[in-house]
Structure 1
Amino acid sequence: MSETHPRLLILSPHFGDAVFGCGSLLATYPDTAVCTVFAAAPEYDVHTDADALCGFDTAHEALRARMLEDDAALAMFDAIPIRMPFRDRQYLDPPSLSTLTAALEEAIYGSTANTLLMPLGLYDADHALVFDACCELLPRLAHLTWFGYEEAFHRARPGLVQTRLVDLAGRGIVATPARPDIRHTLDPARQVLAKHDAVCVYASRLHSYEADGGDLLAPERYWRLDVTRHAGARRVDGPHAARRSPTL
């Protein structure tokens, strides 16, 4: 762990993922930067089943609403929003791994963070792409402190976390249960309350996840990630790693 106070950057594939997966942590770290990767609308307005499931008629309407929700939720934590110019997979224009990796590296250096939190990429294909890009970066940015967070909704699916841990080991990355150091913090009950209030702001996403909403306030789980040898030697894809969940 860095000897200085952690300056956090959380990588959030979509609007809300950082709050859903790390909201209690955000409540203890004002001024955390939250970088939403797939934050851009498609060039031409389109209608998708995923957006319709969340109550939207068009993609542009969906992105405007989600950005407003995200602004309001992050403001509750005094978090700093960063938005990247990439479109998620439902709009049929995802970035290449190399393009995303380069952009993430630039965003990380621009944030001045010394502690990075990346999604484990457990189920959704967009999450998996962010995970792969982070694994490309981790060996050459090993002077920073890295954590993986288990994404809400997907972390409870049988075998997904275990498969991802095997994948990390194959890349030369050791995952150890841990979380960023907390020196001055809210008590756990107040952390959960703060997270609950922020989660409720994402009305459009909660509409589509109604059946699994109980997972949102389950204890958050983090893994300290350290490189033991040259990464990238082997990749293990679980049975659901490349699948896409029905909503953003």
Structure 2
Amino acid sequence: MQSSHDRPVVLLSPHLDDAVFGLWHVLDGPGSAEVVTVFAGIPDPGRVTPLDASHGAEESAAWMRRRRREDREALAVAGRDPRHLDLLDIQYVADRDPELAQAVAEDPDSFVRIVRDRIDLRDRVSQIAEALPPDALRDRLVHAPVGFGGHPDHRAVALYAVELAKAGAEVRLWGDSPYVVRHGLPTWLGGVHNPPADEIVAEGLAATVGDRYRLTVDTVRLTGAALERKLRATRCYRTEYPSIQADFGAAMEPDMLAYELVWSLRADDQPGRR
């Protein structure tokens, strides 16, 4: 069996920006790595969703094409080139449901809360498996997000990765940033009691990993030129950056974006260990 260092690496990014925000040290590191952005599909032209409109878009298809260009620009900072799958972001799926679209239109700031309880994640995972057959990834070292924050697209990619792990793939789950630091650093990392941050981590790991695996976490803190390159890459996402900054506030500060967390999954006969 190949060691982790010898295996081809694939990074699964739910959206156009997630891998850069959460796993820059791997993107910017040595060796080859395939970056697969899962929900990068371009919706039908001629319409703008309420969420895109709230971010400044006039037409969602043009908005996504622009975001794809920015993703290529951002990843080029690390010498990478993305592979964009044509699966639709959950907002474009939700827009096809009149009742759901109306709820989002009335309160776009609550988009994640509105959609996460009405979307069948099993269907989303099946769509990913069809577009990205698990057999093709069995001998790869797979990096995927944990799904912190509850966004259904993040959770679907996380659950797909856990299914890969069950089938024998080596999987590492990275902390979705800036979701994971929305309330600052968790207690075990920052050294200051921080229940809201601890809850984000506990809820995310329980929802996507459960008790099947023993988890070990590695913490990377970027400094110097590496952090500057990450910040430069994140700012390439000009289309969505202002909205992300407005939503996450202090979590977008360099001292928070410097932290990247990666959990390795190990089969465990003693459920519940972290």
Structure-2 change in CA distance of 1:3 and 1:55 (3 Å): closer
Q: How does 1:29-178 map to 2 (within 5 A)?
A: 29=30, 31-92=32-93, 96-106=124-134, 109=136, 114-123=140-149, 124-140=151-167, 142=168, 144-157=169-182, 158=196, 159-167=199-207, 170-178=210-218
Q: How does 1:1-40 map to 2 (within 5 A)?
A: 2=3, 4-29=5-30, 31-40=32-41
Which structure 1 residue ranges, 5 or more long, are not aligned?
181-186, 232-248
Q: Deviations over 1:15-63 (max 9, x none)?
A: 0100011123311135321100111112343211221233211111111
**Secondary structure of residue in 2 paired with 1:148:** strand
Q: Which has the larger radius of gyration?
A: 2
Q: Deviations over 1:117-151 (max 9, x none)?
A: 111111211111111222222110x2x43111111
RMSD: 2.7
Pairwise CA distance, 1:9: 1.2
TM-score by length of 1: 0.78
Pairwise CA distance, 1:207: 1.1
Equivalent AA in structure 1 for residue 145 of structure 2: P
Structure-2 change in CA distance of 1:197 and 1:102 (3 Å): same
Pairwise CA distance, 1:164: 2.4
Structure-2 change in CA distance of 1:201 and 1:114 (3 Å): same
Question: Hey, which of these two has a bigger chunk of helix by percent?
Answer: 2
Equivalent AA in structure 1 for residue 136 of structure 2: Y
Separation (CA, whole Å) in 1 of partners of 2:25 and 2:231: 9
Count of residues in Structure 1 that have an aligned counterpart in Structure 2: 220
**Secondary structure of residue in 1 paired with 2:133:** helix
Pairwise CA distance, 1:113: 6.6
> Which residue does 1:202 correspond to in 2?
237
Separation (CA, whole Å) in 2 of partners of 1:194 and 1:76: 7
Q: Percent identity?
A: 26
Pairwise CA distance, 1:224: 0.7
Pairwise CA distance, 1:188: 3.7
| Contact 1:24 1:194 survives alignment (8 Å) | no
| Contact 1:8 1:113 survives alignment (8 Å) | no
**Secondary structure of residue in 1 paired with 2:225:** helix
Separation (CA, whole Å) in 2 of partners of 1:138 and 1:73: 29
Residue 224 of structure 1: which of 264, 267, 271 is its match? Answer: 264
Separation (CA, whole Å) in 2 of partners of 1:3 and 1:91: 37
Separation (CA, whole Å) in 1 of partners of 2:130 and 2:146: 19
TM-score by length of 2: 0.71
Structure-2 change in CA distance of 1:160 and 1:193 (3 Å): same
Pairwise CA distance, 1:14: 0.5
Pairwise CA distance, 1:171: 4.8
Separation (CA, whole Å) in 2 of partners of 1:3 and 1:36: 22
Pairwise CA distance, 1:199: 0.8
Which structure 2 residue ranges, 5 or more long, are not aligned?
95-118, 183-195
Separation (CA, whole Å) in 2 of partners of 1:9 and 1:18: 11
> Which residue does 1:214 correspond to in 2?
253
Equivalent AA in structure 1 for residue 141 of structure 2: T
Separation (CA, whole Å) in 1 of partners of 2:209 and 2:152: 20
